[in-house]
């Protein structure tokens, strides 16, 4: 059972391998949300995540014989490192089965702690099944990443530290994958203060706990889709589910797009790196329907490879309208690129790259400028780009252009059709799945003719 005595015991034991992660008050998030927001930075642990707490405490409860058999687990990365590091501390062998989608940094660091790593399956559940098979075949002792009461007890020691620093805490936001962290934190928090609210946060594309709570029983999702790889779980833990149902006050789900911009906020305003799963409790702050409350968001981990980091930053900049790409066709005569660069220079941007595709060079040289299209989004912004000729796009001037999936990607123009962009009426419903989402407006097309279109002005929203 999850008891206060066990939590107190675990709190002493995990100090042997954990770093002190003091609460950080966030002026930025407090101002954004209207609450007094504190961050519990478990991403600063030696292994980069809170998981070492549960792993180490669980292994400490095993007999010498169970340890000597060798340990095995399945994990998307953070529990893997926790078990590998704890096994190294106890001087025993560990084998870790990880999904093939696990970030490289987590794989390499797990190997660095001396573990044997086996990559198998696309998601945790498939890796877990493989680990069970290997445990039975070789006699290994299995350390479950979340559906184990000893593991959940170790994870719950986070709540003990939160209360010691902030006794009057009113809300705790905790990421949820399989439920081990949420079970430990919610149970201990309620033991220390029955009036506290503990809110679980899941990715919208992997909300197995929310689905299970709504159904009143364990539910397995048919599939999961999220950039939060550490919480990409199809089935929550069966052993810890009753504790979750009794002690967790609510579940908030967060879309991947929210995680992307939250990563950018954390890097720019707090100068710390938090992985996508660890960002769940931060992104959820904007969904919390309260004000003037003392809120703690648990940053569960920070193990993120630089390639993923770069991609998330780039996507975040695009979503915040700070980076965009635009294509245009220019008349083949001196001075035209100079005109465009002058327009761009007025906005004082940074230009990362430019290119003239060979296909457009060839088409430009032929003198056949063909047709134009305006790519649009649901807010009627109108970036301008060049499309192929009549035979490729089909349709009359002013008619919609659809891609292979039947999604609207533009409006046809030809050299004889004269209009300003404001003359065009777009159906927002048709524009919801636009292939290119550039929230910048190129306006005032001077003329349509044999020499193409000249762009006289660029307005940036």
| Per-residue pLDDT band at 354 (split at 50, 70, 90) | low
Identify whether residues 90 and 230 lie together within a single domain: no
Q: Is the pLDDT of residue 253 over 90?
A: yes
Number of domain units in the chain: 3
DSSP reduced 3-state for 27? helix
Is the pLDDT higher at 64 or at 367? Answer: 64
Cβ atoms 431, 376 nearer than 8 A: yes
Per-residue confidence (pLDDT) for residue 422, from 0 to 100? 38
Domain that holds residue 442: 336-459
| Per-residue pLDDT band at 406 (split at 50, 70, 90) | low
For residue 5, being part of any structural domain is answered with no
Identify whether residues 276 and 162 lie together within a single domain: yes
Q: Is the pLDDT of residue 355 over 70?
A: no
Range name among 42-56, 230-244, 387-401, 438-452 with the lowest pLDDT average: 438-452
Identify whether residues 73 and 128 lie together within a single domain: yes
| Per-residue pLDDT band at 342 (split at 50, 70, 90) | confident
| Per-residue pLDDT band at 382 (split at 50, 70, 90) | very low
Identify whether residues 239 and 367 lie together within a single domain: no
Per-residue confidence (pLDDT) for residue 280, from 0 to 100? 97
For residue 199, the domain's CATH number is: 3.40.50.1100
| Per-residue pLDDT band at 330 (split at 50, 70, 90) | confident
Distance CA 351, CA 89 (A): 50
| Residues designated as active site | 51, 300
Identify whether residues 193 and 295 lie together within a single domain: yes
Strands 71-74 and 171-175: unpaired
> In which element (H, E) is residue 257 found?
helix 256-270
For residues 416-421, average pLDDT: 34
Among the listed residues 412, 428, 321, 326, the one whose alpha carbon sits nearest the alpha carbon of residue 370: 412
For residue 406, being part of any structural domain is answered with yes
Token couple for 226? 């999220």
Distance CA 204, CA 72 (A): 30
Identify whether residues 165 and 290 lie together within a single domain: yes
Identify whether residues 179 and 280 lie together within a single domain: yes
Q: Is the pLDDT of residue 451 over 50?
A: no
For residue 288, being part of any structural domain is answered with yes
Per-residue confidence (pLDDT) for residue 122, from 0 to 100? 85
Per-residue confidence (pLDDT) for residue 340, from 0 to 100? 80
Distance CA 284, CA 89 (A): 36
For residue 325, being part of any structural domain is answered with no
Q: Is the pLDDT of residue 420 over 70?
A: no
Is the pLDDT higher at 381 or at 357? Answer: 357
Distance CA 432, CA 168 (A): 45
Cβ count near 19 (within 10 Å): 13
| Per-residue pLDDT band at 352 (split at 50, 70, 90) | low
Q: Tens digit of pLDDT for each residue in 159-209?
A: 999 999 999 999 999 999 999 999 999 999 999 999 999 999 999 999 999
Identify whether residues 205 and 287 lie together within a single domain: yes
Per-residue confidence (pLDDT) for residue 356, from 0 to 100? 55
Listed in sequence order, the DSSP H helices in 271-357 are: 280-283, 306-319, 336-346
Identify whether residues 296 and 378 lie together within a single domain: no
For residues 389-400, average pLDDT: 41
Identify whether residues 175 and 270 lie together within a single domain: yes
Last residue of a domain, which of 319, 352, 386?
319
Per-residue confidence (pLDDT) for residue 319, from 0 to 100? 85
For residue 376, being part of any structural domain is answered with yes
Per-residue confidence (pLDDT) for residue 431, from 0 to 100? 35
For residue 125, being part of any structural domain is answered with yes
For residues 356-375, average pLDDT: 41
Last residue of a domain, which of 142, 170, 189?
142
**Axis crossing angle, helix 78-90 with helix 52-60, rounded to the nearest 10:** 40
For residue 257, being part of any structural domain is answered with yes
Range name among 178-182, 208-212, 414-418 with the lowest pLDDT average: 414-418
Per-residue confidence (pLDDT) for residue 124, from 0 to 100? 81
Cβ atoms 397, 414 nearer than 8 A: yes
For residue 453, being part of any structural domain is answered with yes
Identify whether residues 305 and 403 lie together within a single domain: no
Last residue of a domain, which of 117, 142, 167?
142
Q: Tens digit of pLDDT for each residue in 41-94?
A: 999 999 999 999 999 999 999 999 999 999 999 987 889 999 999 999 999 999
For residues 256-271, average pLDDT: 94
Q: Is the pLDDT of residue 327 over 90?
A: no
Distance CA 219, CA 211 (A): 6
Token couple for 374? 């305006």
Mean pLDDT of the chain: 80
Cβ count near 211 (within 10 Å): 18
Identify whether residues 372 and 298 lie together within a single domain: no
């Amino acid at each position: 059972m999850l008891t206060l005595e066990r939590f107190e015991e675990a709190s002493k034991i995990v100090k042997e391998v954990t770093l002190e992660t003091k609460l950080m008050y966030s002026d930025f998030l407090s101002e954004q949300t209207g609450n007094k927001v504190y961050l519990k930075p478990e991403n600063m642990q030696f292994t980069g995540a809170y998981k070492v707490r549960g792993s180490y405490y669980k292994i400490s409860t095993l007999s010498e014989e169970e340890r000597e058999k060798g340990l095995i687990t399945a994990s998307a990365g953070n529990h893997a490192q926790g078990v590998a590091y704890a096994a190294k501390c106890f001087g025993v062998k560990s084998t870790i089965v990880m999904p093939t989608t696990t970030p490289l940094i987590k794989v390499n660091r797990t190997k660095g702690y001396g573990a044997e790593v086996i990559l198998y399956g696309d998601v945790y559940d498939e890796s877990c099944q493989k680990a069970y098979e290997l445990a039975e075949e070789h006699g290994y002792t299995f350390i479950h990443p979340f559906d184990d009461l000893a593991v959940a007890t170790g994870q719950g020691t986070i709540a003990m530290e939160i209360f010691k620093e902030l006794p009057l805490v009113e809300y705790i936001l905790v990421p949820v994958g399989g439920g081990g962290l949420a079970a430990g934190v919610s149970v201990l928090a309620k033991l220390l203060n029955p009036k506290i609210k503990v809110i679980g946060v899941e990715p919208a594309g992997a909300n197995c706990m929310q689905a299970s709570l709504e159904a009143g029983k364990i539910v397995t999702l048919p599939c999961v889709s999220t950039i939060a790889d550490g919480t990409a779980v199809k089935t929550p833990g069966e052993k810890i589910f009753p504790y979750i149902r009794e002690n967790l006050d609510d579940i908030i789900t967060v879309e991947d797009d929210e995680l992307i911009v939250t990563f950018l906020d954390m890097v720019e305003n707090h100068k710390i790196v938090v992985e996508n799963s660890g960002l769940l409790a931060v992104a959820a702050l904007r969904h919390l329907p309260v004000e003037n409350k003392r809120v703690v968001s648990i940053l569960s981990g920070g193990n993120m490879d630089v390639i993923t980091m770069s991609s998330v930053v780039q996507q975040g900049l695009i979503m915040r309208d700070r980076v965009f790409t635009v294509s245009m066709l220019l008349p083949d005569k001196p001075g035209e690129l100079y005109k465009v660069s002058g327009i761009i220079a007025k906005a004082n941007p940074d230009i990362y790259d430019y290119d003239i595709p060979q296909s457009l060079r060839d088409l430009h040289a032929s003198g056949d400028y063909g047709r134009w299209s305006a790519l649009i989004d649901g807010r009627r912004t109108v970036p301008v780009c060049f499309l192929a000729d009549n035979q490729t796009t089909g349709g009359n001037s002013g008619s919609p252009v659809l891609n292979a999936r039947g999604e609207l990607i533009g409006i046809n123009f030809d050299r004889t059709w004269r209009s300003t962009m404001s003359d065009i009426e777009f159906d927002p419903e048709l524009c919801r799945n636009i292939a290119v989402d550039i929230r910048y407006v190129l306006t005032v097309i001077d003329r349509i003719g044999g020499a193409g279109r000249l762009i006289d002005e660029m307005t940036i929203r």
